[in-house]
Copies of this chain bind each other. A is one copy, B any other.
Amino acid sequence: MSTYIFGRSTMVNMDPLFYPEAVAVVGASPDIVRDRAGFFGSLRECFKGRLYPVNPRHAEIQGLKCYGRVKDIPEQVDYALVMLPREKVPAVLEDCAAAKVKFVLVFTSGFSEIGDFELERKLVDIARAGGTRIVGPNCIGAHCPENGLVYYPPMMSDNPGDVAFFSQSGGHALNFLIRGLSLGVAFNKVISVGNQADLRIEDFIEYFGADERINYICGYVEDIKDGERFKKLARSIIIEKKKPFIIWKGGRSEEGARATRSHTGAMAIPVKIWDSVMGQLGVINAESQEEMADILTSLRLGFLPRGLNTCILVAGGGSSVELTDAVSLNGLSVPELSEGVQDAIGEGISRVNTSTRNPIDLGMFGFAPNIFVESAARAAEDPAIDIIMVCQYPEIVSFMVKELWEASADLIVEGLSKIKKPVVMVIPRVVHHRADVDEIRADFTRKLNAAGIPVYTSAARAARAARKIARYLDYMKRNAG
């Protein structure tokens, strides 16, 4: 186990939390209703270390010997999950402290978030006396699939992953993890921090910054307790470690900020101040969970636009207006292409019912995959263009002539993958609630992603993500060295 030094501070070594050898589940139950969160069952199925259920009412749970108290466990416990009613938590923490348990997750709620600061402080005092550190209370703790320490079995993965996520909401920890997995994101570690009575977001950020397995750090926060420490950590992570750092802050509206006070007791930070500080730090400031996922997945695919000048290619005048509106209202520019590039694109298509100015409306030629990809490649030759945004309607094309779509998809992916500038695909969701159509779209998306091309269901989403990534890259350029 290594000692981490990060900047000048001495970091909390979280290895025994994320890579425990021995885990205790206090309040484990064979009853699925009592094991409400299902965490014991999940660890029984997935955890690669030694697992100890603790519950005086059982001799054995799911084939494992069950212990009456933590101190009865015959080895030192690295990580204990406590899921008992709140009045029973202090006594269990005394046991954990006496047994020198390294980390305790207090899953239980009903502490500072309902105003009981005293009981929460008591937990911390008891734990610290034995050198035990607390995650929570009021959270779901640590997830590290490398080690089989998972919230739920479907979250296991052979891919060790390179993304970390910290969350002030247990629900969002699950939610973003499930969303990310379905988008092909491999999470190395996730932490739900709860009330942060002892271990704070800043401790996890520091550890994730130093962790060489992790290349991307994402977070959901409602407030930051130690602003100065946060700023130092953010600077180190972004500029020294060169890890993109994406934060989605809850409470961006006044009414949402009021809701964060009911949720985590967060002090409201005016959104303008938040946005400005994040901008100064180079933190990528996501405005929703969807946007955080959009930015993360695009970055991981290598979508790295150096500016905001976008060329839009699509079949149809109405669609070209629609995409231009969405892109333009979300911060990108759609400049007229140079004459030479327009002429080159124009050579391949009719001059009737098309436009080469930008947006490029290919008309019916947009359904010819070779012309579509050649036009995109030519647009990419314009030095004024930073981003190639292409749009396809597999749902409509396959609705009209299914064979045409099947013959087109692979040619489009192959052609676009050769373009050296950042390419992003928009596939509007036109048809809803049709499994066959969903599959056509999913299959095309998978192929494009495999070729390093991000895919969005709207030009607005694509534009917002591109703008934030371009701003981050600009920040990195200005702060190089």
Contacts and interface: CB of A to CB of B under 8 A. Distances in A.
B433 A288 contact: no
A319 B399 contact: no
Nearest to A293: B432
A321 B110 contact: no
A333 to B, nearest CB: 7
A35 to B, nearest CB: 11
Interface string A361-385: 1011000000000000000000000
Contacts of A355: 259, 262-263
A378 B353 CA distance: 57
B400 A38 contact: yes
| Interface range on chain A (Cβ under 8 Å from partner) | 35 or more
A351 B114 contact: yes
A318 B172 contact: yes
The winner among A32, A432, A435 for most chain B CB atoms within 10 A is: A432
Contacts of A167: 318
A187 interface: no
A298 interface: no
A171 interface: yes
A352 B428 CA distance: 42
Interface stretch (A62-70, A122-130, A202-210, A438-446): A438-446
Interface in A296-322: 315-322
Interface string A109-153: 110011000000000000000000000001000000000000010
B352 A288 contact: no
A61 to B, nearest CB: 19
Contacts of A334: 255, 259
11 contacts: A109-B353, A167-B318, A169-B316, A170-B318, A183-B433, A250-B321, A254-B328, A255-B328, A258-B324, A263-B355, A435-B438
